[in-house]
Amino acid sequence: MKLFARLTLLVWVLLLFSPLSEAARLPRKSKKDQLITISTAQGDIRLILFDQTPLHKANFLKLAQSGFYNGTTFHRIIPNFMIQGGDANSKDADPTNDGAGLPDEKRIPAEIRPELTHKYGAVAAARTGDMINPQRASSASQFYIVENHNGTPHLNGAYTVFGQVISGLEVVDKIAQQPVAERNRPITDIRMTVKVEKLKKKKITELYGYQYQ
C-alpha cells in the first residue's frame, strides 16, 4: 500500500513539472482585442495595438478611452513619409505650439522590437531626439502613422512601433495630401475623435482581413 502511495505521488510530481503541465499554467491568449477607430473629416482609420508593446498599448488605450484624443489634430503631415498627431496642444487656438507637448510630460519607456517594423500603415510613438533622449523613450501621447507605401525602414530600431492600420490606409493617404503651411502643419485643422471597441479577434479578421500571429 505504501509503495502504491509513493508511486502515485511520483506520478503527480512528474505531471506537475512536465512540459504539458507548464503549458497549462501559462496565461491563455485572449480571444478578443481592442479595435481603435480614428475618425476624421477625410474618413475613418482603424488599427490594432500590439501585445508585444504592453506599455504603449495600455497608455494609448487609457488616453483613447478617457477621451483625451478627441479634438486633437494631425498637426504634422509629410507626403510619402508619415502623418503625426495626438498632441494636447493641438486642441487650443494657437497653432505655433502644436507638437511641443505639455510641460513636464511623462515619457513611455522604449519598447523597440526588431519584428515590429515601419511598414506602410505602422503606428509608432513620436519622441524627442537622441541628443536629449538617448533612451529613446516615447512621447506620452503623440504618435505617427507611416504613409510611405514602401515603409520607412530607416526608422527601424529608433522608434517604438506599437500598432498597425488594418483599414483606412486610403484615408491616411488623403490626409497626407492636405495643403500645409510652416512646419508641415496642415492649413486646415484635421481633427480626430477616437473610439475603442472590444471585438473577437475572429470578427476583426473577418471584417478587415488582419491575421493574428
Query: To which residue does cell 494657437 refer?
Result: 94
DSSP secondary structure letter of residue 140: S
Give the pLDDT of residue 95. Answer: 77
Q: How many domains does the chain have?
A: 1
Q: Which residue has the cell 504603449?
A: 56
Residue 74 is assigned to a structural domain of this protein: yes
- Whole-number Å distance between alpha carbons of 194 and 53: 20
Does residue 12 sit within a domain?
no
Return the bridge partners of 123, or none: 145, 163
Q: What percent of the chain has pLDDT over 90?
A: 72
Q: Could you report the per-residue pLDDT of 133-190, keeping only the tens digit for each?
A: 999 999 999 999 999 999 999 999 999 999 999 999 999 999 999 999 888 999 999 9
Q: In sequence order, what E strands does 30-132 have? A: 32-40, 43-49, 74-78, 82-85, 107-108, 122-125
Which of these, 155, 105, 145, lies nearest to 124 by C-alpha position?
145
Q: Is residue 99 part of a domain?
A: no
**What spatial distance separates the first Cα and last Cα of the chain, rounded to whole Å?**
50
Split at pLDDT 50, 70, 90, the class of 96 is confident
Segment of 45-49, 87-91, 129-133 carrying the highest mean pLDDT: 45-49
17 in a structural domain: no
- pLDDT, tens only, 5-39: 554 554 444 444 455 444 445 557 789 999 999 99
- Give all strands (DSSP E) within 53-142, no chain letters: 74-78, 82-85, 107-108, 122-125, 138-139
Buried residues in 89-102 as b, exposed as e (16+ CB within 10 A): bbeeeebeebbebe
Quote the pLDDT of residue 162. Answer: 98
Question: Whole-angstrom Cα distance, residue 210 to residue 175?
Answer: 23
159 assigned to some structural domain? yes
- What is each CA distance from 42 to 1, 98, 175, 177, 189, in whole angstroms? 78, 20, 7, 11, 11
Give the three-class secondary structure for 111.
Answer: coil
83: confidence class by pLDDT, cuts 50, 70, 90? very high
> Distance between CA 137 and CA 55 in Å, rounded?
11
* CB of 44 closer than 8 Å to CB of 200: no
Residue type, 176: A
Identify whether 184 is part of a domain.
Answer: yes
Assigned domain for 116 exists? yes
Mean pLDDT within 61-77: 96
- Does 16 map to a domain? no
Stretch 189-205: mean pLDDT, rounded? Answer: 96
Name the residue range of residue 81's domain.
32-91+110-208
pTM of the model: 0.85
Domain of 178, CATH number, reads 2.40.100.10
- Three-class SS state of 55: helix
Q: What is the pLDDT of residue 88?
A: 87
Q: Which residues are 157's β-sheet partners? A: none
Cα 118 from Cα 165, distance rounded (Å): 12
